[in-house]
Amino acid sequence: MILDQIRIVMIQTTHPGNIGAVARAMKNMGLKDLCLVSPKRFPDPDADARSSGATDILQAAKVVETLDEALSDCHFVVGTSARGRHIPWPITSPREMAAIAASLQPNKRMAILFGREDRGLTNDELHRCHHHVHIPTNPDFSSLNVAAAVQVIAYELRVASLEHSISPPQWGTDWDIELADAKEVELMFEHLEKTLVQVDFLDPKNPRQLMTRLRRLFLRAIPDKVEINVMRGFLTAINKTAQSSPRQSQNQHPLNDKENSDV
Ligand code: SAH
């Protein structure tokens, strides 16, 4: 059940009324897990009033002092933001975020962070997140009330949870091309490894983590048969070119840089 895997984390919320409105939005959409990091005033009669009866969510809310405590048992962390920050970060739409939530393994938990009313999340808090989510608002007036933002996100999670329970995503049948099987993928990795050796990018006596990292990169993409064929063709072209051109100095190996010594 997706909804039980989601934790709404509100950071240093100023107005208890907003906490109540969040509890209401959560209960409307079937979310239960609310965590409050250093709220200014909580519990508070304004929170109860604005919750319109979602007091069970407020009573069960966990109040903690630090973000570390809020995230201690979470596997995937998403930060919500009304505006872009100076360092780009992987960004998803609320709908994509809900699809990621729907694909979480059953025992994994996703935390969604909501910032202060006046200044949102700090850069440090945003840098704790795997992804950032922006609700596509009017760019000239992009900042939603925090409870309204929770409502939108919670709605997307609810829709995803309903769709997920009807028909789980079917890799390889919904996709236009059949997924490559494990053997095809392994053969591509063997070809890639040989090619990297051929062009002196990979030193077989000191391979370090290069292939592990490249495996992770390619496997994250869940490649299909055509994509694997394209890779094989590309590698064959490199093999032919490398065979017919004279060897360059081995010292050009980028992993010989001190900076990359942990690769
Ligand atoms: N002035 C602040 C906005 C704070 S709004 C700023 O510029 O960052 C309070 C919180 O509501 C934000 O931290 C975020 O969690 C959420 N929020 C508001 N508008 C949002 C939007 N368009 N997309 C995603 N989250 C939003």
Burial class (CB in 10 A: 0-12, 13-18, 19+), 123: exposed
The confidence score (pLDDT) of residue 120 equals 96
Is-above-0.95 flag for pTM? no
- Residues near 5 by Cβ (< 8 Å), separated by ≥ 6? 101, 104, 106, 108, 109, 110
**3-class SS letters over 3-61:** HHHEEEEEECCCCHHHHHHHHHHHHHHCCCEEEEECCCCCCCHHHHHHHCCCHHHHHHC
* pLDDT recorded at residue 23: 98
The pLDDT score that the predictor gives to residue 224 is 78
Which atom number of ligand 1 is nearest to the Cα of residue 114? Answer: 15
Q: Is 9 in the pocket of ligand 1 (CB under 6 A)?
A: no
Each of the 263 residues of the chain gets a pLDDT tens digit; together they read: 689 999 999 999 999 999 999 999 999 999 999 999 999 999 999 999 999 999 999 999 999 999 989 988 777 889 999 987 666 777 899 999 999 888 876 777 889 999 999 999 998 888 878 888 999 999 999 999 999 999 999 999 999 999 866 555 555 445 577 766 556 777 898 999 999 999 999 999 998 888 877 866 776 576 778 999 999 999 999 999 999 986 655 545 555 444 444 45
Q: Determine the pLDDT at residue 260.
A: 46
Probe ligand 1: pick from 9, 19, 36, 80, max atoms within 8 Å of CB? 80
Which atom of ligand 1 is closest in space to residue 133's alpha carbon?
24
Residue 81 near ligand 1, beta carbon < 6 Å:
yes
> In the sheet where 91-92 sits, what is the strand order?
62-64, 33-37, 6-11, 110-114, 76-80, 131-133, 91-92
Domains and their CATH numbers in the chain: 2-162 (3.40.1280.10), 182-260 (1.10.8.590)
3-state secondary structure of 78: strand
Q: Give the pLDDT of residue 168.
A: 55
- pLDDT for residue 84: 75
Sign, CA dihedral 120-126-132-138, equals positive
- The predicted pLDDT at position 24 comes to 98
Do residues 23 and 57 touch, judged by C-beta distance below 8 A? yes
pLDDT given for residue 251 in this prediction: 47
Closest-lying ligand 1 atom to the alpha carbon of residue 135? 23
Confidence at residue 167, expressed as pLDDT on a 0 to 100 scale: 54
Distances (CA, A) of 64 to 42, 67, 81: 11, 8, 22
Phi, psi of 90 (to 5 degrees): -55, 125
